Structure 1
Amino acid sequence: MTPSAAPALDRWGFSTWLDHARGSGEFIKLPELDGVNDAVVSIEGRKLVNFSGIGILGWQHDPEVRKVFAATAAEYGLVVGGSRIIQGVSRPHLELEALVAEITGREKALTFATGMLANLGFVNAMSARFSFDNNAGVNNTDTVLVLDRECHWSMWKAAERFKFGRNLIMFDHNDTASLRSELEQLAGRKIVVGFEAVYSADGSMAPVAEILDLCEEFGAVSFVDDANGFMVYGNGGRRFAAEYEALRRATFLMVSFGKGVGLSGGALAGPADALDAFRFLSGTTVFTTNIQPPTAGAIVHVLRTMRRDPSIMANYLDRIDRLRERLLRIGCTINPTPTYVTSILVGPNDIAVNVRQEFIDRGYLVPMFGYPAVPKGRAVIRLLLNNRITDEQLDGFLDTLAELREKYRF
C-alpha cells in the first residue's frame, strides 16, 4: 500500500481504496490536454480524436464568437470582481438574463457560474428560512422535494440536508404512475417536483406534459433541469416539439450553456419575484462569483445566432440520426429515445476499462460512464458528438467500435 503523506488521514481509507482502484484500472489517469479542447486533442504529445467533449457545435472555435469574447473582455474585463449581491453584475450578464427569459418564456432569469450552482441555489432558496429584520421573512423549511430517481447529482447533493422519506421523495424514472402515487400521499404539503427534460446518462426524454399535469393537479411547484436540451430542442425544430412546448408551463427552468451553446455557465428562469428573492436565498449568488463577462457576451451572440438560424441545430441532429442508424447496424445496444445523447451499452466495469484503453491506444478519447453515473454493471459509452469531427474520423471510430464490440462481446 502507498504510504500516506499525512498519517492522520489513514482512517479515511483513501490510500487503500486508490491502491485497489489503480490495480483494477477503475481509477483512470485523467487526460491532460496539451492545447485547446477540440474535435482532436493532444495528450502528452499524441493526437486523439475527441469523443468526450460536451460542446456539441464547437462554438468556441467560431471566429465571430471569439471576436465578441475579445471585444467584451476589452470593455468589461475578465472577472465580475465579487458576488452578485456585493459587486453586482455587468451589462453582458443583464443582457444574457433578459435573453434567457425571452427564449424560455419566463418573467426573469438569473445567471450562475455553472449549472450545478444554479441547481444547488434553487434547492437552497426553495427551502430557506430567512428574514432581514426578524419579522417579515420566509420560512420554507417544510418544503418537500420530489425528484426523479435519475436527476443529476447536483440535485441530490443540494438535498442532502433533507430527510429521505419525509421531505425528500423519489419517484421511478420517467414514471408518472409512480409520481402520482407519491403526490397522493403528500396532499396538502408544500411540494416541489424536480426532473430533467433530457437525461444525460440514458438520453431519455421526460414525459414533460404528463408530469406537469400532475404538478398542476396536486398544486406542486415544478422545476425542470434542462441542462442537456436547452437550444438543442424547442427552437422551432420538429424533434420533441410537443415536449418542449409543454416545458413552457413549468414553474422554474434551469438551463446550462455547456452543451448546445458550448460555452459555460447556467441560469434559472421563472417568476420575477421568486428570482429576485433567489438573489438572497440561493446562497450561490451570495457566496460565489458569476460567469466571466466575456463569456456572457459570447453566449448572447451564440443564442442570437441559433435563434436566427434553427437549421444549424437541425442539420446537426440529422447527423445524429444517421449515427444512430449506423450504431444499430453494427449491432450496438443504444438508448431507445432518439435524442442527441447517445449511450452505447458496454456492461461490466472490467470490460469498460479495457474498451476505453483500447480506444485510446487506437487514437480515440471515448467517454466511458460507469458507476456512480450509471448503475453498477451497466457502463456505457456516452457520446455527445462534436460536430467538428469529420466524417472520416467518425468512420474510423465506428470501425474500431465494431471490432471491439466483437472482441469483448458487448
Structure 2
Amino acid sequence: MTASPAPAPSVDRLAPWAFAAFVEANTHDTQYRPPVVDGPIGPTIVRNGRELVNFASISFLDLERHIPVRRHFAEGALAHGLSTSGSRMTQGICRPHQVLEETIARRTGKERAISFATGLLANIGFVHAMSSSAQFDTGIEVRNNDTVFVVDRDVHWSIWKGLEGLGYGRRVHAFRHNDVADLGVVLERVRTRKTVVIAESIYSADGTMGPIVEILDACDRHGAISMIDDANGFMVYGPENRPYAREAAAIRERADFVMVSLSKAIGLEGGALAGPAAAIDAFELLSGTSMFTAAIQPPTAHAAERTIEALAADPTIVDDYLAHAARLRRQIHEAGTPTTPTESYMLSMPIGNDAAALQMREWFVEDGYLVPVFSYPAVARNQALLRLFPHAGHTEEQMDAFLRTLLTYRRRLGL
C-alpha cells in the first residue's frame, strides 16, 4: 500500500511567523520574487522574455571574448567530474582545488589559501575560526572566545552574520565607515590581546574604496590582526597604472588575511581566504563552513585557476575595462549628475528619496534597462542610490542611450 504524502504545513500553524502578512505588505514584489532569466547573463539579460541592457551583472569583464572559460569548465568536468561528492574532511580535495588555492595564495601574496563554495561562507568561516573554542583531543584545542572584532560599520552582511551572537559592545565593535580616526578611538578603548579589524577594499553598496594603508597603520599601532575583504578588488586592482595601486599593494604586502571572491572579475562562483599557513590549515577544522559542506565544483575550480592566470598574463583585459567604466563616470559627471566620490568601477548615484529611486527602477525596466537600486534596509531610509556595474560588453551606443534616459528621469523627478 502506497503511503500518502505528508500534508503541507497549514497556513494557521505558520501564522505566528507572519510570512503571509509580510508578503502581502510588500508592494515591490520583484525584490522578493526574482524574475526568470533565460540564456547567458552578460551586457544584456533576457528576463521574463524581455531583453534588457544589463547594469546589474557582478561578472563584468565579458571574459568569453578573451578567455575560453566554458571550454576550461568542460575540460575540468571531463577530467575531474562535476562534484566533490563529499566534504574536504571526509574525502580530501580535488586536484583543481589544490592548484586554485596555490594560485590564489601566490596572487594575494600570502602563504596559503583555502577555498569555499561562496565568498559568504568564507567570511562567516573566518569569523567563526577566529572566535571559537574547541577541543578535539588532549592537547588539540583552541580557546579564542576572548577575541574582539572591530569592523567598518558598512562591511558585508556575511561578516555581520558571522558576528551574530558575539555581543555588540562586548566582543563586537564598529567604527564609522572609512573613518580611520574613529577606528583609532575604538582600538584605544578596546585594548585587548586578541583584536581583529575587518574592512573591505571596495564596498558593494556605494563603490567607495577603503583607506587600507591607514587602516593597516592603525592595526600596527594597536597590535591588531587585519582582515581585508577584497571580493570586489581581486584581480582588478594592483598594477601601478591602475587606480588604488597603493592600497592594493598594502593588501598584498601587509594585511594578515584577505578574502577573495570568484564571482566578480573571475566571473564564476566561490571564494577563498588567504593568510599565514598555520592559520589557514587550522581553518580546515575551525571555520565550520569548510568541514561541514561541499567545496566549489571541480570544473569551477579548474576554470577559475585558468582565468586568474589569463588575467595576470594579459593586463589589457582589465585595463580596457577600467577605461570603459571611467568613460561612463566622466560622462555622468559632465552631465551634472553626482556619483559617489571614488575611482572604482562601480558607479553609485545618490537619489535620496526611496520612492523616487524605486520609481526610477521601474521606468528603467519599461525602457529596456536593468539598473539596481539600493534602498532601505540596504542603506539608511531615504538615502537610496542607483548602483551600476558597467559591463565590458556594453557598446558606446548602449551607454550613451542609458545616460540620456537617466537624465530624462532626473528631470522628471526634479532631482
TM-score, length-scaled by structure 1: 0.96
CA drift at 1:27:
4.7
User: What residue is the counterpart of 1:193 in the other structure?
Assistant: 197
How has the CA–CA distance of structure 1 residues 196 and 27 changed in structure 2, closer, same or farther, with 3 Å as cutoff? closer
Q: Which runs of 5+ in 2 are unaligned?
A: 1-8
**Does 1:402 pair with 2:407?**
yes
Structural mapping, 1:61-80, within 5 Å: 64-80=68-84
**Does 1:15 pair with 2:20?**
yes
TM-score, length-scaled by structure 2: 0.94
SS at match of 2:387: strand
Q: Is the contact made by 1:125 and 1:278 (CA closer than 8 Å) also made in structure 2?
A: yes
CA drift at 1:393:
1.4
**Does 1:211 pair with 2:215?**
yes
SS at match of 2:137: coil
SS at match of 2:258: strand
SS at match of 2:196: strand
SS at match of 1:233: coil
User: Aligned letter for 1:114?
Assistant: T
Q: Is the contact made by 1:114 and 1:265 (CA closer than 8 Å) also made in structure 2?
A: yes
SS at match of 2:348: strand
SS at match of 1:246: helix
CA drift at 1:234:
0.8
Deviations 1:303-354 (A, max 9, x none): 1111111121111111111111111122222100111111011221211221
**Does 1:125 pair with 2:129?**
yes
User: Aligned letter for 1:250?
Assistant: A
Q: Which runs of 4+ in 1 moved over 6 A?
A: none
**Does 1:42 pair with 2:46?**
yes
User: Aligned letter for 2:348?
Assistant: S
User: Aligned letter for 1:31?
Assistant: P
**Does 1:144 pair with 2:151?**
no
**Does 1:279 pair with 2:284?**
yes
SS at match of 1:262: coil
User: What residue is the counterpart of 1:373 in the other structure?
Assistant: 378
How has the CA–CA distance of structure 1 residues 60 and 12 changed in structure 2, closer, same or farther, with 3 Å as cutoff? farther
User: What residue is the counterpart of 1:252 in the other structure?
Assistant: 257
**Does 1:266 pair with 2:271?**
yes
CA drift at 1:47:
1.2
SS at match of 1:132: strand
User: What residue is the counterpart of 2:332 in the other structure?
Assistant: 327
How has the CA–CA distance of structure 1 residues 401 and 278 changed in structure 2, closer, same or farther, with 3 Å as cutoff? same
* CA–CA distance in structure 2, aligned partners of residues 290 and 386 of structure 1: 29
User: Aligned letter for 2:176?
Assistant: D
User: What residue is the counterpart of 1:243 in the other structure?
Assistant: 247
Aligned with 2:236 (options 232, 238, 243): 232
User: Aligned letter for 1:205?
Assistant: M
User: Aligned letter for 1:282?
Assistant: S
CA drift at 1:195:
0.4
Q: Equivalent pairs: percent with the same residue? A: 45
* CA–CA distance in structure 2, aligned partners of residues 319 and 348 of structure 1: 29
| RMSD between aligned residues | 1.6
User: Aligned letter for 2:369?
Assistant: Y
User: What residue is the counterpart of 2:113 in the other structure?
Assistant: 109
Q: Is the contact made by 2:148 and 2:192 (CA closer than 8 Å) also made in structure 1?
A: no
User: Aligned letter for 1:92?
Assistant: P
User: What residue is the counterpart of 2:347 in the other structure?
Assistant: 342
**Does 1:308 pair with 2:313?**
yes
CA drift at 1:46:
1.5
Deviations 1:148-200 (A, max 9, x none): 00100000010001111011000111111111111111223310000001111
Matched residues, number: 406
User: What residue is the counterpart of 1:317 in the other structure?
Assistant: 322
* CA–CA distance in structure 2, aligned partners of residues 217 and 55 of structure 1: 37
Deviations 1:27-54 (A, max 9, x none): 5642210222121121222211111111
Structural mapping, 1:58-97, within 5 Å: 58-59=62-63, 64-97=68-101
CA drift at 1:132:
1.5
User: Aligned letter for 1:372?
Assistant: P
Q: Is the contact made by 2:130 and 2:147 (CA closer than 8 Å) also made in structure 1?
A: yes
**Does 1:386 pair with 2:391?**
yes
User: What residue is the counterpart of 2:5 in the other structure?
Assistant: none
Q: Which runs of 5+ in 1 are unaligned?
A: none
CA drift at 1:14:
2.0
How has the CA–CA distance of structure 1 residues 397 and 97 changed in structure 2, closer, same or farther, with 3 Å as cutoff? same
User: Aligned letter for 2:300?
Assistant: T
How has the CA–CA distance of structure 1 residues 26 and 58 changed in structure 2, closer, same or farther, with 3 Å as cutoff? closer
